[in-house]
Amino acid sequence: MALDPVPTWIHGAKHSGDILRQGTFNQTGGAEGVSSPTAFRVRATQTPSNKVRVDPGGLLMLSPWDEGQTYSMRNASETLVEVPASSSLSANTWYINAWVNDPKKPGGTEPVSVPYGPYNFLTCDPEPKDNNPAYACAKIVVPKSTAIVEQDMITDLRELAQPHRQQLMFGRPRITEDESRNLGLTVAAGGEYFPGGNGAPNTFKVFVPTWATHILVDASWMSVRYAGSSNPYGQYWIEYGDEYKDRTWPGNRQYEFATQTFAFNSPGTSNNVMRMDWRLMSSQHIDPKLRGKTITMAFKAGRQDSGPSADVSMDALSGLGMQLAFVQTTLDPKSNEDPA
């Protein structure tokens, strides 16, 4: 019959593998990939060898035979997979494949034990598998005449099946009551909160989710004022962290972490006041120490030593803004992190 007579779950009824795989597909929205940033991560062994280690975790694989069905696999503990040595003639390319042998489907074979399997496999193959529920976790290129697998030979192919994402926004147009203060400190001195002055928020606090591996920063200093007949130039950036220090972090920073610095430079060819927007976009790895904590985001800028010291400011026609996104991605196999 076209309609499966048994849903998930009815007490006492017999449930088919098809309806359970359909349930997994429905619950995950048809997602495919690993369940956490470290799941099925492939790394070289700590003692150099001809094997790689595959981290524990979960994995979702779409059925190649039945639309709307998903196989779920669990690697209960770190698993070693042997990688063949290359010949003296050329390099060899291998794939670490996680795959399912379903004896009820085309090409499937009966396992050693029907109740206990094995049905799940981790193998090293010359190509990704395409005739089974399968997932290629990593590609390994072994140079010629090589038997030992090193980390630089491994390319991570994993993607998160259901990555987390959280977006936030900070916006603060300046008002007449805000003090307008010129940018005075240099980049070498660690710069300063900018815009400075009383009544002008130039920092804000945000909670870092425990699952976040990266933060996407899109910040703007809007309508920055350059004085006429001058050529101010310098740099701007965002600092962040959970611990303030009075310019004792590297680079005389006030917080431990920072984005790349970006340059500003007025043309300096006009007697008229000029206004320009400063824009910053950056993807930052989140240090494990910050996960699950409230951190401070600070707008910073500094002039160059040789630049004028009283020609850059923000007034009641200016403003600050920042779009933040905390995201979860797979972790680099070169990393030993194990986030929550």
From-to residues of CATH 2.60.520 in the chain: 17-156
Percentage, residues of the chain above pLDDT 90: 74
Say which residues have a Cβ less than 8 Å from residue 176's Cβ, sequence separation at least 6: 316
The reply to whether CATH 2.60.120.760 applies to domain 165-327 is: yes
Could you read off the pLDDT of 157-214 as tens digits, one per residue?
999 999 999 999 999 998 888 887 889 899 999 999 999 877 678 999 999 999 999 9
pTM: predicted TM-score of the whole model, two decimal places: 0.81
Closest CA to 326 of 220, 217, 240: 217
- pLDDT of the residue at 52: 97
Contact between residue 191 and residue 180 where contact means Cβ atoms under 8 Å apart:
no
Name residues of the chain where pLDDT drops below 50: 1, 339-340
Instruction: Write down the mean pLDDT value for the chain.
Output: 91
- pLDDT of the residue at 338: 59
The reply to whether CATH 2.60.520 applies to domain 17-156 is: yes
From-to residues of CATH 2.60.120.760 in the chain: 165-327
State the DSSP string of 122-162.
EEEESS---SSSEEEEEEEEEPTT--S--GGGEEE---BSS
- pLDDT of the residue at 337: 67
- pLDDT of the residue at 340: 45
Q: What b-and-e string marks burial along 273-311, b requiring 16 or more CB atoms within 10 Å of the CB? A: ebebebebeeeeebeeebbeeebbbbbbbbbbeebbeeb
| Cα 123 from chain centre | 27
Closest CA to 282 of 232, 220, 328: 220
Could you read off the pLDDT of 239-248 as tens digits, one per residue?
999 999 999 9
